[in-house]
């Protein structure tokens, strides 16, 4: 008879790897979709698709009563969450992808975990650890390398607006998760209510923008893919993986596979030539994230003695 925890862990790893594969494709999907859609069109169609998917998930789990009670208790928070995500976060992020090569926005987006640790000090009254400061210096050193294209002496930023938007998107994402800590409860329910509250903001933005020019089929397919896999399926797979495993740290470490896979797909699918500055900056950022999460310390602890 097989050990049930081992079976659960094996399933958790498969689910987590599936989520990582989904996330590894989205930077390429963003960039390819923006060839046919405006950032506002992409976030609007993708958000609608994701909302429908989340509604199916909530319906399948028969959580409509939980949805109603959550809305009655925290409706004002959901209105704010919906403004943050999907409306403002993805609108800012997609504009960054519109202005910058995908290989630059991708690593910049990974600095949100460091920023979240820094913001948790004044907002959640958490203690700032020395490893958080070291991680922040490494991450934002990597940001500087990417933003200047490796020209640290001259400090000439190739596309300052795009860099500013990419970094601003990490601030929005951090605010979104800090707001989530005030609510608690079911993650799919919270995400669905947030998206339902975000759709009116997107509808208003479309009205203000004016006429809608229907994109070609490739644009529609790209938006549907982003809505399904970036905003929906990947999140659900990752949540299921964390619930199925008995060691969340090991599962969480799999996220470090996503950036190199993403760069490979960006080179193959989007056709971007990966710059040395991008690789150096990404290594610095991921090293900072690993230090902040304690992954590097756990790796060194597993190292054989005498090595």
CA dist 8 and 17 (Å) reads 14
Q: How do residues 216-229 score in pLDDT, each as one tens digit?
A: 999 999 999 999 99
CA dist 192 and 200 (Å) reads 14
Res. 179 pLDDT band, cuts 50 70 90 = confident
Cβ atoms of 24 and 155 within 8 Å: the answer is: no
Res. 302 pLDDT band, cuts 50 70 90 = very low
Q: How do residues 65-97 score in pLDDT, each as one tens digit?
A: 889 999 999 999 999 999 999 999 999 999 999
Q: How do residues 269-293 score in pLDDT, each as one tens digit?
A: 999 999 999 999 999 999 998 888 7
Q: How do residues 18-33 score in pLDDT, each as one tens digit?
A: 999 999 999 999 999 9
pLDDT at 306 over 50: no
In Å, the largest CA–CA distance within the chain is: 68
User: What percentage of the chain has pLDDT greater than the value 70?
Assistant: 91
Cα→Cα distances 240→12, 51, 126, 177, Å: 7, 19, 28, 19
Structure-model confidence comparison of residues 256 and 100, the more confident one: 100
Res. 155 pLDDT band, cuts 50 70 90 = low
pTM of the shown model: 0.89
CA dist 177 and 85 (Å) reads 10
Other Cβ atoms closer than 10 A to 202: 23
pLDDT at 148 over 90: no
Query: Which pLDDT score, from 0 to 100, does residue 295 have?
Result: 56
């Amino acid at each position: 008879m097989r050990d049930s925890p081992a079976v659960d862990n094996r399933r958790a790893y498969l689910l987590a790897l599936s989520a990582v594969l989904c996330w590894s494709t989205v930077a390429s999907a963003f960039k390819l979709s923006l060839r046919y859609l405006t950032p506002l069109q992409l976030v609007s169609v993708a958000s609608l698709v994701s909302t429908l998917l989340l509604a199916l998930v909530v319906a399948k789990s028969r959580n409509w009563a939980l949805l109603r009670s959550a809305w009655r208790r925290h409706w004002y928070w959901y209105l704010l969450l919906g403004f943050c995500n999907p409306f403002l976060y993805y609108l800012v992020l997609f504009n960054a992808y519109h202005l910058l090569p995908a290989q630059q926005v991708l690593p910049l987006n990974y600095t949100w975990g460091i920023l979240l640790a820094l913001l948790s000090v004044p907002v959640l009254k958490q203690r700032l650890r020395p490893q958080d400061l070291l991680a922040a210096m490494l991450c934002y050193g990597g940001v500087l390398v990417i933003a200047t294209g490796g020209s640290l002496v001259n400090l000439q930023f190739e596309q300052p607006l795009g860099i500013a938007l990419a970094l601003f998107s990490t601030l929005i994402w951090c605010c979104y998760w800090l707001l989530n800590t005030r609510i608690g409860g079911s993650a799919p329910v919270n995400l669905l209510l947030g998206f339902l509250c975000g759709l009116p903001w997107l509808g208003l933005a479309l009205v203000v923008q004016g006429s809608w020019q229907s994109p070609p089929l490739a644009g529609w397919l790209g938006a549907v893919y982003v809505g399904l896999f970036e905003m929906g399926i990947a999140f659900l797979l990752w949540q299921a993986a964390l619930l199925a495993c008995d060691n969340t740290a090991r599962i969480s470490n799999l996220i470090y596979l996503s950036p190199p896979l993403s760069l490979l797909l960006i080179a193959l699918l989007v056709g971007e030539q990966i710059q040395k500055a991008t690789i150096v900056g990404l290594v610095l950022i991921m090293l900072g994230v690993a230090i902040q999460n304690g992954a590097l310390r756990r790796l060194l602890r597993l190292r054989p003695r005498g090595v």
